[in-house]
Amino acid sequence: MTYDIAASIAWTDPSCPVARTTDLVGDRWSLLVIRDAMDGARSFTDFQRRTGIARNILTDRLRKLTAYGIIAQVDAQSGKRKLYELTDAGKDLFPVIVTLRQWGERHAFAAGEDHSVLVGDDYARVPELVPMSADGTPLTSENTRVRRAR
């Protein structure tokens, strides 16, 4: 079952994409479920074991993420249970998760404190994600602005 997202949510700020996105996936548990799905978690047990989330909260988050079209339920090969996989919309959150990870590496750990590292297939650390203009200039909050909806 999927919701009509526009009709089912009281949007924090209906014209702001950041507000809408955080309304959909902005809580701690949803982001950790999405992170773990990107890292290969597929079953309810996988998500619960990796996050330590309570069963009732995990059930709620998986139900919502499925209803919002971020995760899909699929049959396991055995046919005895359901598994979860990211949809294209869920996979599109990869740069968001990478950016959160990189911010955390810079600001959530003390210098020299051990933490996990995201690497590519070549085992090299994933380079810093930096938004760029069409001409290659790095974009920041100082050289961008929001054009409001009318």
Q: Which domains does the chain have, with CATH numbers?
A: 5-91 (1.10.10.10)
**Residue indicated by tokens 């938004």:** 131
| H helix runs in 68-146, sequence order | 88-91, 94-107
Which pLDDT tens digits describe the chain residue by residue (150 residues)?
444 555 567 888 888 999 999 999 999 999 999 999 999 999 999 999 999 999 999 999 999 999 999 999 999 988 888 999 999 999 999 999 999 999 999 999 999 999 999 999 999 999 999 999 999 999 999 999 999 988
Give the pLDDT score at 6: 56
**Residue indicated by tokens 């085992």:** 123
What tokens were used for 14? 């209906």
**Residue indicated by tokens 């602005």:** 145
What pTM did the predictor assign? 0.88
Q: Which residues contact 55 (CB under 8 A, 6 or more apart)?
A: 48
The one-letter amino acid at 25 = V
